[in-house]
Amino acid sequence: EIVLTQSPGTLSLSPGERATLSCRASQSVSSSYLAWYQQKPGQAPRLLVYGASSRATGIPDRFSGSGSGTDFTLTISRLEPEDFAVYYCQQYGSLPLTFGQGTKVEIK
C-alpha cells in the first residue's frame, strides 16, 4: 500500500499569499497518477488536479500541480477567500487507492 504524507498539517496564510502544499509517497507513484482535491466544510470534495499537473475542468489557473515519483506539490499562486479549505492528495497508480491525511489552509 502506498502511504501518502501531506505537509504541513495546517497552513496559516493571508488572502493574496502563495500556498505550497506537499504530498510525499512511501513509494513511487506510477505514471504520476496523483490527484488533488479541495474540500470545504459540509461539502463533497472537488477535483482540482489529476495526472500530477493537469487541471480539472473549470479550475482556475492559480491552482497548479507538479512533481513525480514520490514528491508532489500543489501550489495556489494567490489565495482567494474561497480557497481556504482542506486539500487532499490521492494516488491512483496502484491498489488500494489511497489519500493523504489532508492539509488545512486557514486564514491567518
Residues that bind other proteins (CB under 8 A): 33, 35, 37, 39, 43-47, 50, 56, 88, 90, 92, 95-102
- Give the nearer residue to other proteins in terms of CB position, either 37 or 63: 37
Q: Which is nearer to other proteins, 17 or 92 (CB)?
A: 92
Per-position b or e across 89-98, b if 16+ CB within 10 A of its CB: bbbbbeeeeb
What is the rounded CA–CA span in Å between residue 89 and residue 84? Answer: 16
Q: Shortest distance, CB of residue 80 to other proteins, whole angstroms?
A: 22
